[in-house]
Each structure stands twice: as C-alpha cells, then as structure tokens.
Chain A
Amino acid sequence: MAKEFVLTEQMTAQIGAESPPWPFEVTTTSVRAFARGVGYTDPVYFDVAAAIKAGYRSLPAPPTYIGTPVFIPGRSSDTFSGPSEGMPNVDHGLKGILDGGTETETYDTICAGDELSAVTRIAALDVRPSKALGKMLVMGTETEYRNAAGDLVAKQRAQVIYY
C-alpha cells in the first residue's frame, strides 16, 4: 500500500509494449476443468457427444474461458499460470494485487481443438486514489487471440490494480 505513487517516464514508456505470441490451446480437458471450476452442470461442456448434438465441433469454451493459459514451468507465472516470458513489465514496486475488471469479445465460437495464440499489450496506466488502499496503480491490458489461420477470434481487456 502506498500513500503516494507517481508514474515515472520509465513506466509510461511501457504503454504499447507487446508480448511475443503465446499458445492458448483449447482442449477437451481444459474446457472440462474450467466448466467444473465454475460449477456448470450442462453436459455440453463435458460430453463431446452432447456438444456435437448441440451443434458444436467439440466441447465449446464457456463464455469467460478465454484467458485460461497453457502453463510451462520457468516460462509462465507460477501464481497466475499466464506467460511471463517476454511479457511487458512495469517496475512499480507495489506488493498488493487485485483484479479490477474484465471484458471479453469473441468473434467466433471457440471449441476444444482450437489452437489459439495470443499477444498481450499494455494499453493504459493510471494512478487512482482509494480510501482503503492508498494510491493505486491501475494497469489496462489488451490481449488478442488468433486461431491457427491467423484470424482474430477474441479480444480480452483487463484492469489489474496494484496497491
């Protein structure tokens, strides 16, 4: 928690910085694990035959599945499992972290078997005061997901709060 926090030029220079592409392969196992974690009971997210009967190629990714990463030790965040290798980084020194908000836009149905690849960029940095948490750094990111053919299939915007 910080009483004062000022954005430096070194921090703002990171706005627009992009990560290298990272695989976000969607699999039957990853869809089932996510759907189970949320508490879905609809068999379409678990049983391939039920999914095909409902008109899908395979198990469909639930609406907020996007962002579920492929973890590789040493190259991914051990805590959040997302890619850390080459990820643009703002050296802010704040220890607390909270999720601020998420927006996901999809341009096609995403199903198990889809080999997506994503690039994340830092879209915005902002300092906001909070009664409980002092001066907070709010980082906005934007991640674009493309399929194997290179078509944009989803875009996710997120705000992370550091305090």
Chain B
Amino acid sequence: MIADWKKIAEGDSLPELRKTPTVTQLVKYAAGSGDFNPLHHDYNFPQSEQIGSIIVHGRFKYAALGELVSNWLGHAWRVKKISCQYRGMDMPNQEFVCRGTVVKKWEENGEKLVQIDVWAENAEGKKTTPGQAVVVMR
C-alpha cells in the first residue's frame, strides 16, 4: 500500500496479482456484475462449443486490473480513469497475471496524479488485456 507520493517513481512495477478463476468464481462474478452471458458458465452454449470452452468475462479481467491498482494504492487514492482492450480469450482454471508499471507522475490543478500501464498476461506471456489507469490522491 502506497500512501506517500514521494515514494512513487516512473518505471516502478506494481506488485503482481495472480488469478486462476474457477467456474465457480466466474459464477460469482456473473452474479455480482449481472453479466449472465452463457459463454461464461455453460459449456453447451453454441458459442462455447464453437470456441471449445467457456471463457473468462473480459470485464472480470478488467476488474482484476482494478484490483491490481487498488491493492497497490490502498485508500489514500482514487482510480480516476481505467481502461483496457480485450485482445485475447482466457479460459477458467488457467492462471493469468495482472501487472503494471508507472509511466508518468505529475501535478495538475492541485491534484497529484499517476499514470500506470496495466495488463493481464496468460501463461505464454501474451498480453490478453492491455490497459491504462490514472490515479489521483484523495
């Protein structure tokens, strides 16, 4: 947890967050987010059969990137902006790792801001979910 602006430097890596979502975890995410697309829980759904598996919700990975950032910051900060692109599919019971690096630190209109590159990568090291976040001190 980072409470001190002075301790953040451009190039810093965030502590990684590893996730291996089970089908049960995806069901919990479906209930929590309201996304009941069967592609994320039903192996007999036509789109799942076509892909050969159910897949992890893109927004579960997006939320994991949010968790990566909020775990690092603690509560002295607020996530002002967070974005990602869903470039590759992840399957349940396979690990993906969320990582981030600080790209910019600046002050603007009296606000202390930090920009971070964030991404989720699969076991092959492919970035399936690249994104960016901007955080501001509360």
Interface residues of A (CB under 8 A from B): 30, 33-40, 42, 44, 54-56, 60, 62-64, 67-69, 71, 78-82, 96-107, 109, 157
- Find B32's partner among A35, A96, A99, A100 (CB 8 Å cutoff): A35
Supply 28 A–B pairs (Cβ within 8 Å), ascending by A.
A30-B32, A33-B32, A35-B32, A37-B25, A38-B32, A39-B19, A39-B21, A39-B64, A55-B75, A60-B75, A62-B70, A63-B63, A63-B67, A63-B79, A64-B66, A68-B33, A71-B34, A78-B36, A79-B35, A79-B38, A81-B36, A97-B37, A101-B85, A103-B81, A103-B82, A103-B83, A105-B80, A106-B80
9 more A-B residue pairs beyond the given contacts A44-B75, A106-B78, with a C-beta to C-beta distance below 8 A: A38-B60, A42-B71, A68-B33, A78-B36, A98-B86, A101-B84, A103-B83, A105-B81, A106-B81
Inter-chain CA distance A35–B59, complex, in Å, is 13
Interface residues of B (CB under 8 A from A): 19, 21, 25, 28-38, 47, 57-60, 62-67, 69-71, 75, 78-86, 133, 138
